[in-house]
Amino acid sequence: MRVVLLVLLVLAQLLVAERARARSGCAGAGASLHVMTLNLQFTRVWGEGRELEILADYVAEGEVDVLLLQEVSGGLLTGSSSTAEDLRRLLRERFGLAFELVYAPASGVRGLFTVGNAVLSRCPIVTRRIEALPEVPELRVVGGKWRLHRNILGVEIATHRGPVAIYTTHLCADCEAQERGGQLEEALAFIAEREAGRDRPVVFGGDFNLDLFRSGAERRLYRRIRDAGFADVAAIHRPAESLCAEPSRPDADCTVGVAEPVRPHSRRIDYLFASGPIEVAEQRVVFNPRVDTGMPAVSNHAAVAARLRLGGGGKRVARAATDHPGL
């Protein structure tokens, strides 16, 4: 009798574990990892709109595994611990989906109002680390410019194919390319230190405020990311200079200037990069109503999403050739 009870107990535990793995999105050995990056536009979610509900619907229906979020806000003035926590709660209450969350406030006053980066993951988060980036003047107040805090958030998630490193950041907006480059160098150094001696899939995404068509300096920053071993997941099978190339004529790859019909120009400044034993199975920009009128905006940014096949057989992301001399 004891043996039967023991067997039943073990089977029950295995069933619970199997259900937990299935709920994590990391169970199937042949499954791809669905990753999305989005700048939430912290001022937008204070209104009466349904942005977070719409986003939660897409995450659940599209079976998104990992979200890289920027401009996540929190504190007393927002009425919430963070907008990322609000999204996590919606996913749990409406769809029964369990996400783990790491929020990394960068600017603001703790408890009152903060803005920063976050990662939401259906896969277990094993480690986390936050690194501050160089502060530069970019917030215009009363005729002057004040320095803002920026950071990079790195986590390791556990998947069916082993550990995957996820990094997200939001580089300075109202600043010079040289200042943005200083933040980028710190971010890349942070990643290089954590990945030294490892050979695992790495995803690096966020709002880089980097426009390939703005200047040669911006293109050099993009090339710097590529030289660090990363591939732009949107430019695996096509040249980067063909993506959102005409600001006055937005296409399916633009990520800003697409949610506001009155804005004259559209740009691509949000990216997902990948390196290591990983393949890009699919990539698309989501919440771009200028191109897809059936998809409402949830921010002043569109989201970049990709399905990534994790390591095995030595398969790796490959960088596409480009004809642009600056890339």
Residues of the chain with pLDDT > 90: what percent?
Answer: 64
Q: Which amino acid is at 63?
A: E
Q: Where are the alpha helices (DSSP H) in the chain?
A: 2-24, 51-61, 83-95, 177-195, 216-227
Model confidence at 314, pLDDT cuts 50, 70, 90, reads low
What are 175's two structure tokens? 């600043």
Query: Would you state the pLDDT for residue 9?
Result: 45
The architecture of the domain spanning 31-310 is: 4-Layer Sandwich (3.60)
Give CA–CA dist 276/234, Å, rounded.
16
| H or E stretch at 109 | strand 100-109
What's the pLDDT tens digit per position in 8-36? 444 444 443 444 444 445 544 567 999 99
Global pTM?
0.88
Give the closest residue to 229 by CA, choosing from 269, 198, 194, 202: 202
pLDDT higher than 80, residue 225:
yes
Residue whose tokens read 């073990």: 10
Model confidence at 105, pLDDT cuts 50, 70, 90, reads very high
The mean pLDDT of 206-213, rounded to a whole number, is 96
pLDDT higher than 60, residue 71:
yes
3-state secondary structure 5-35: HHHHHHHHHHHHHHHHHHHHCCCCCCCCEEE
The mean pLDDT of 65-85, rounded to a whole number, is 89
What's the pLDDT tens digit per position in 282-291? 999 999 888 8
What are 113's two structure tokens? 């109002």
Strand partners, 203: 166, 274
What are 206's two structure tokens? 């966020």
Q: At what angle do helices 51-61 and 83-95 cross, to 10 degrees?
A: 50
Which residue ranges make up each domain of the chain? 1-27, 31-310
What's the pLDDT tens digit per position in 246-263? 988 889 999 999 876 666
Query: Would you state the pLDDT for residue 312?
Result: 59
Query: Would you state the pLDDT for residue 293?
Result: 82
